[in-house]
Structure 1
Amino acid sequence: MRHRYSILFFPLHVIVDSLSLNVAFVGAYLLKFQTIEGVSTPPYTSLWLLFNLIWLIEVLILKPYVFPRQLFKAGHLLKKMLLLTAIHIAVISMYWVAIRGYYYSREHLVITYALFLSLGAALRIAGLVFLREYRARGYNTRRYVIVGYGKLAASIHSFYETHPEMGFRFHGYFDQPTPENVGLIKGTYNELLSYVEKESIDCIYCCLTYMDNDRLKVIADHAEAGNYQVKILVDFRGFLARGASVEYHDFLPVLNLSSQVLSDFQVNIFKRSFDILFSVAALGLGMPIFFLLAAITKLTSAGPTFYAQERIGQGGKPFKIYKFRSMYTNAEQSGPVLSGGLLDNRITPWGRFMRQTRLDEIPQFYNVLKGDMSVVGPRPERQFFIDQIIEIAPEYRSLLEVKPGITSIGQIKYGYAASVEEMVQRLRYDLIYPKRRSFFFDMWIIAQTLRVMAQGRGK
Structure 2
Amino acid sequence: MRHRYSILLFPLHVFFDFACLNASFVGAYWLKFDTLDAIAQPPYQLLWVAFNVCWAVIVAITQPYIFPRQLFKAGPLLGKLLYLVVLHAAVISLFWVFVQGVYFSRGQLLYTYLLFVLSGGLFRIGGLLFLQEYRARGYNSRRFIVVGYGKLAHTITRFYEVHPEMGFRFQGYFDWYTADNEAQLAGSYNDIVDFVKREQIDCVYCCLPYVDNTQLKQLVDKSEILDIQVKLLVDFRGFLTKGASVEYHDFLPVLNLSTQEIDNFRVAFLKRCFDVSFSLLVLLLGSPIFLLVAAITRFSSKGPIFYAQERVGHRGHPFMIYKFRSMYVDAEKAGPSLSQGSADNRITPWGRFMRQTRIDELPQFFNVLRGDMSVVGPRPERQYFIDKITEVAPEYTNLLKVKPGITSIGQVRFGYAASVDEMVQRLRFDLLYPDRRSLLLDLWIIAQTLRVMVQGRGR
| Structure 2 partner of 1:176 | 176
| Structure 2 partner of 1:267 | none
Q: Please tell me whether the aligned partners of residues 246 and 256 of structure 1 are also in contact (alpha carbons under 8 angstroms).
A: yes
Q: d(CA) in 2 for partners of 1:58 and 1:399? A: 35
Q: d(CA) in 1 for partners of 2:389 and 2:165? A: 30
Q: Please tell me whether the aligned partners of residues 417 and 426 of structure 2 are also in contact (alpha carbons under 8 angstroms).
A: no
Offset at 1:161?
A: 1.6
Q: d(CA) in 2 for partners of 1:177 and 1:119? A: 55
Q: Tell me the alpha carbon deviations over residues 165-220 of structure 1, each in whole angstroms, 9 at most, x when there is no partner.
A: 11111111101122331311111111111111111010001113112321012111
- Superposition map of 1:433-452 within 5 A: none
Offset at 1:159?
A: 1.6
Q: 3-state SS of the aligned residue for 1:31?
A: helix
Q: d(CA) in 1 for partners of 2:85 and 2:35? A: 26
- Superposition map of 1:2-21 within 5 A: 2=2, 6-21=6-21
Q: Please tell me whether the aligned partners of residues 389 and 424 of structure 2 are also in contact (alpha carbons under 8 angstroms).
A: no
Report whether the alignment pairs 1:152 with 2:152: yes
| Structure 2 partner of 1:142 | 142
Q: 3-state SS of the aligned residue for 2:8?
A: helix
- Superposition map of 1:292-311 within 5 A: none
Report whether the alignment pairs 1:70 with 2:70: yes
Q: d(CA) in 1 for partners of 2:343 and 2:425? A: 30
Q: d(CA) in 1 for partners of 2:55 and 2:389? A: 52
Report whether the alignment pairs 1:243 with 2:244: yes
TM-score by length of 1: 0.64
**What amino acid does structure 1 have at the position aligned with 2:190?**
N
Q: Tell me the alpha carbon deviations over residues 333-359 of structure 1, each in whole angstroms, 9 at most, x when there is no partner.
A: 7764559x9xxxxx9xx969x99xxxx
TM-score by length of 2: 0.64
Offset at 1:85?
A: 1.1
Q: Tell me the alpha carbon deviations over residues 192-250 of structure 1, each in whole angstroms, 9 at most, x when there is no partner.
A: 1111111101000111311232101211122112111100112223333323122224x
**What amino acid does structure 1 have at the position aligned with 2:244?**
G
Compared CA separation, residues 393 and 237, structure 1 to 2 (3 A):
closer
Q: d(CA) in 1 for partners of 2:74 and 2:184? A: 36
Q: d(CA) in 1 for partners of 2:258 and 2:312? A: 24
Compared CA separation, residues 197 and 36, structure 1 to 2 (3 A):
same
Offset at 1:367?
A: 4.9
Compared CA separation, residues 29 and 65, structure 1 to 2 (3 A):
same
Compared CA separation, residues 138 and 93, structure 1 to 2 (3 A):
same
Q: d(CA) in 1 for partners of 2:354 and 2:19? A: 48
Q: 3-state SS of the aligned residue for 1:173?
A: strand
Q: Please tell me whether the aligned partners of residues 379 and 406 of structure 1 are also in contact (alpha carbons under 8 angstroms).
A: no
Q: 3-state SS of the aligned residue for 2:58?
A: helix
Offset at 1:27?
A: 0.9
Compared CA separation, residues 140 and 319, structure 1 to 2 (3 A):
farther
Q: d(CA) in 2 for partners of 1:89 and 1:394? A: 42
| Structure 2 partner of 1:132 | 132
Q: d(CA) in 1 for partners of 2:254 and 2:420? A: 34
Q: Please tell me whether the aligned partners of residues 10 and 65 of structure 1 are also in contact (alpha carbons under 8 angstroms).
A: yes
Instruction: Point out where structure 1 has 5 or more consecutive residues left out of the alignment.
Output: 265-302, 323-330, 342-346, 356-360, 373-377, 413-429, 440-459
Q: d(CA) in 2 for partners of 1:95 and 1:380? A: 54
Number of equivalent positions: 349
Offset at 1:127?
A: 1.8
- Superposition map of 1:113-262 within 5 A: 113-241=113-241, 242-249=243-250, 251-261=251-261
| Structure 2 partner of 1:50 | 50
Q: Please tell me whether the aligned partners of residues 247 and 256 of structure 1 are also in contact (alpha carbons under 8 angstroms).
A: no
Q: d(CA) in 2 for partners of 1:23 and 1:45? A: 14
Q: Tell me the alpha carbon deviations over residues 85-105 of structure 1, each in whole angstroms, 9 at most, x when there is no partner.
A: 111111111111111110000
Q: d(CA) in 2 for partners of 1:398 and 1:5? A: 32
Q: d(CA) in 2 for partners of 1:336 and 1:15? A: 58
Q: d(CA) in 1 for partners of 2:221 and 2:357? A: 58
Q: d(CA) in 2 for partners of 1:88 and 1:399? A: 35
2:420 to 410, 417, 420: 410
Q: Please tell me whether the aligned partners of residues 5 and 140 of structure 1 are also in contact (alpha carbons under 8 angstroms).
A: no
Q: Please tell me whether the aligned partners of residues 248 and 254 of structure 2 are also in contact (alpha carbons under 8 angstroms).
A: yes
Q: d(CA) in 2 for partners of 1:110 and 1:212? A: 58
Compared CA separation, residues 108 and 186, structure 1 to 2 (3 A):
same
RMSD, aligned CA: 4.4
